[in-house]
Amino acid sequence: MTQLWNLAEVAGRDRAEEARQRELDHLLERLYPMCRSLTGEGVRETLRVLQEKLPIEIKEVPSGTSVLDWEVPPEWRVREAWIKDPSGNVIVDFCEHNLHLLGYSAPFSGTVSLTELDDHLYSDPARPSDIPYRTSYYAERWGFCLAHDLRERLTPGDYEVRVDTTLEPGALTYGEFVVPGQTDREVLVSSHVCHPSLANDNLSGIVVAAELAHRLHALGSEHLRHSYRFLWAPGTLGAITWLALNRERVGRITHGLVAANLGDPGGFHYKRSRQGEAAIDRAVVLAARDSEVDVEIEDFVPFGYDERQYCSPGFDLPVGSLTRTPWGRYPEYHTSADDLSLVSSQRLLDSVQLYLRTFAVLEADRQYRNLEPHGEPQLGRRGLYRTLGGEGAKERELAILWVLNQSDGTRSLMDIAERSGLSVAVLDEAARALVKARLLE
């Protein structure tokens, strides 16, 4: 077993893991209240907290910078935002829940009638007690989001409104961290960091990516063939900015996953890359099959998270999206009900485990060549036949025969795993034993 297989096996499964789980809970609680957005302090604070466990690089790209077909917008900062009813009671307050303020609200201060105010209110009659999450990144307006129940109780009169925000030149902030491996072929893990107090959409992906980075970093470069690049960037524009600034090195990305929605009670879901049959698309399926985890598979569609950018035709990177319930398909999605009660640290660790198993498959996937391809080599003489008693001995024998038979230099371990039905871990072990016995190179 290589180190990475072991790492994947223990994730979420032993004593030390209980401590990790508590740490994750603590991290979720700290990050949940921060007002993340496309730009601004919330993203910086989030990344600074992650820096406590990892030396993440925080990058600042100035407002006005051209990035592909886009431009980095002014930075948004919030001091306060509230509405007072005609009797002077604060009825909606950003301090109480950051979802109350329409994301990227322009500043406003004044007294308005209920009719006028109503044009600036957002609520969802289908979920009357939840605050919806809304933004207005590219059209300048102010607004508040509130429970529909509350909105219906508002009576005519004068409402005092304060939106103390600024939209001024600043920067777009993103975080990047690389665990170097023995080659510069990269595995990209990307998660969006632009959502405020939403636990599953956004925060679960941020935390799972940080946990993966932490574990691979601790494992050490000598145990990794690929380099692992982690990106915490605002959705859409963050990925576009990173692609624009890294055009010359984008080709190094050999496999990639967009991490989001990884803490809810739903089963796993994988959306294939645009390429559809890329190694990453097959690796996720094999990792799930080998660990008997159900993953619903869906073909690529050009909407969703930042796979849209990585899989745009000019880049066409092999990047899929491994989530639990996909965006928009759970009732709490983009509402205040997507809170910490929707995610559990055990489910986050199970997600970490499936990611690690996928990485282990990618690491193991090589093409070998049988050095004694004429007839079956004598395994007994080389200590490979029936010497591997104990549990799984039969499977290991089969793995040796499959690897010897298929390794003509054109088929990789993933090909053999798909054809034989044997696990990649067992085939990897067999291949290593055969290399040691000088039957394989």
Shortest Å distance, C-beta 374 to Zn ion = 58
Angle CA 249–363–372, to nearest 5: 120
The two structure tokens encoding residue 171: 């920067």
Q: Which is nearer to Zn ion, 305 or 402 (CB)?
A: 305
Helix (H, G, I), strand (E, B) or coil at 70: strand
Q: Which is nearer to Zn ion, 201 or 365 (CB)?
A: 201
Candidate segments 145-153, 200-208, 308-316, 344-352, binder of Zn ion by CB under 5 A: 200-208
Q: Which is nearer to Zn ion, 2 or 136 (CB)?
A: 136
Give the residue closest to Zn ion by C-beta. 201
Candidate segments 7-15, 86-94, 196-204, 429-437, binder of Zn ion by CB under 5 A: 196-204
Q: Which is nearer to Zn ion, 231 or 431 (CB)?
A: 231
Q: Which residue has the tokens 């509402």?
A: 335
Shortest Å distance, C-beta 117 to Zn ion = 26
The CA distance from 26 to 28, in Å, is 5
Candidate segments 36-44, 78-86, 193-201, 285-293, binder of Zn ion by CB under 5 A: 193-201
Shortest Å distance, C-beta 1 to Zn ion = 38
The CA distance from 365 to 412, in Å, is 6
The two structure tokens encoding residue 228: 């692992």
Shortest Å distance, C-beta 55 to Zn ion = 28
Q: Which is nearer to Zn ion, 351 or 407 (CB)?
A: 351
Q: Which is nearer to Zn ion, 236 or 367 (CB)?
A: 236
Helix (H, G, I), strand (E, B) or coil at 388: coil
Give the burial class of 368: count Cβ atoms within 10 A of its Cβ; 0-12 exposed, 13-18 middle, 19 or more buried: buried
Does 429 bind Zn ion (CB under 5 A)? Our answer is no
The CA distance from 151 to 123, in Å, is 8
Q: At what angle do helices 279-290 and 424-436 cross, to 10 degrees?
A: 100
- Tell me the CA end-to-end span of the chain in Å, nearest whole number: 18
Backbone angles phi, psi at 81, to 5 degrees: -160, 125
Shortest Å distance, C-beta 258 to Zn ion = 12
Candidate segments 183-191, 197-205, 277-285, 340-348, binder of Zn ion by CB under 5 A: 197-205
Contact pick of 186, 201, 307, 332 for Zn ion (by CB under 5 A): 201
Where along the sequence are the contacts to Zn ion (CB under 5 A)?
201
